[in-house]
Structure 1
């Protein structure tokens, strides 16, 4: 009799345990499906919130740089160097110059001068190159760009004194590498003096090398 009761009790317990296990599995499955649906709906309704949850502002901005969305990147970065670079790469030279002005160091001063050149503020660019050369009189690129800036300013004065308008910095910036190569070839053949546009094209336009080498490596190291 006792054995029969034990057998029945054991069978009942096994059945109850199996039923409980199935209930738990069903609950887990329903919870998982609900969670997936909620996450999916969240992504579609507010994708930016989902991105903000997983990526920092600088990480998001770096993705924008990779997609060459420099204008958006400039407004997203929190790092001043990358903000300046993004403005520069987007052709917003005055904004880039303003940000570079807030960054200490010789390279930032050099990049600020370059940005001012391409923004058309030649005289202020000359002042910045000269300030840099007071710190480092052997800065080869600053010496070169200062000579370019002074020649451009001289050409503008001559052009304006004849009643015309000076060359457009924007047009100079848009010159292709092929055109610049032709200009340099003409120089070597002692052709007539370069125009203002040609001179401006010789200015180191893009601080990408400085920024990408220095700050992209820091960014990679910090996120390993």
Structure 2
């Protein structure tokens, strides 16, 4: 399964110390084909049996003392970070982010909630490579590729062997249009596709030809199309790259 964006995420094991290992387990996300470590990379605030006990009590409390009493019960028996973990493990990331006090955990919860601007704000408050790696991922998800590259570089200065950071950096760099860079001509033997024709090869099978009015697409739409096509084969990736370049060149000539 093609995996998506890698991030050190809150809820199970959080890294706030001198841990140097890079993550290896992947899980799903969206948009960019970057790597995303699993929740097992973050320290738990209590073990699974204790968590089940508190979950039962939290569900039972409103029935015993009313809704307002239930909230007093939570505040009395659980810390804000424990409350955040409770909501995080239920998949309510927005509620988790509002309860976490630890900045790294807040950043992880906001990231999972899709609020990358807030994730950036909180990851930036933590001074370690893990937080900076997530900061780079958050910038990438917002399309701030130059800032993402700066943070990936800083991470790799500290941990040069972090393979996922290297691969994420390479992908973001490929999405960033360098100022003043000449557009690359198609390599010898590349298919001669016009700007309004795109063909896709699904694992070696001949694809059907589709028509796309490229000149009517904005730069943002072209970029989004390009990123969606990263899930196709490498050959298709290069075809699309050349098609998009040709389309943008035609648009400039017509302006």
- Does the 8 A contact of 1:43 with 1:50 survive in 2? no
Pair 1:41–1:66, CA change in 2 (3 A): closer
Which of 62, 77, 89 aligns to 2:112? It is: 89
Pair 1:62–1:171, CA change in 2 (3 A): farther
Pair 1:194–1:69, CA change in 2 (3 A): farther
- Does the 8 A contact of 2:129 with 2:155 survive in 1? yes
Which of 43, 48, 61 aligns to 2:66? It is: 43
Aligned-partner SS, 1:166:
helix
**TM-score (normalised: structure 1):** 0.54
**How do 1:85-164 residues align onto structure 2 when only pairs under 5 Å count?**
85-154=108-177, 164=218
1:193 equivalent in alignment to 2:216 = no
**TM-score (normalised: structure 2):** 0.48
Greater than 6 Å deviation, 4+ residue runs = 155-158, 168-173
Aligned-partner SS, 1:154:
coil
In the TM superposition, residue 46 of structure 1 has moved relative to its aligned partner by 3.5
The count of corresponding residues between Structure 1 and Structure 2 is 146
| Counterparts of 2:103 and 2:239, CA distance in 1 | 36
| Counterparts of 1:168 and 1:61, CA distance in 2 | 38
Give the RMSD, CA atoms, in angstroms. Answer: 3.4
- Does the 8 A contact of 1:118 with 1:170 survive in 2? no
| Counterparts of 1:126 and 1:62, CA distance in 2 | 31
In the TM superposition, residue 139 of structure 1 has moved relative to its aligned partner by 2.5
1:62 equivalent in alignment to 2:107 = no
In structure 2, stretches of 5+ residues that fail to align are: 1-61, 184-214, 242-255
In the TM superposition, residue 164 of structure 1 has moved relative to its aligned partner by 3.4
Pair 1:170–1:75, CA change in 2 (3 A): farther
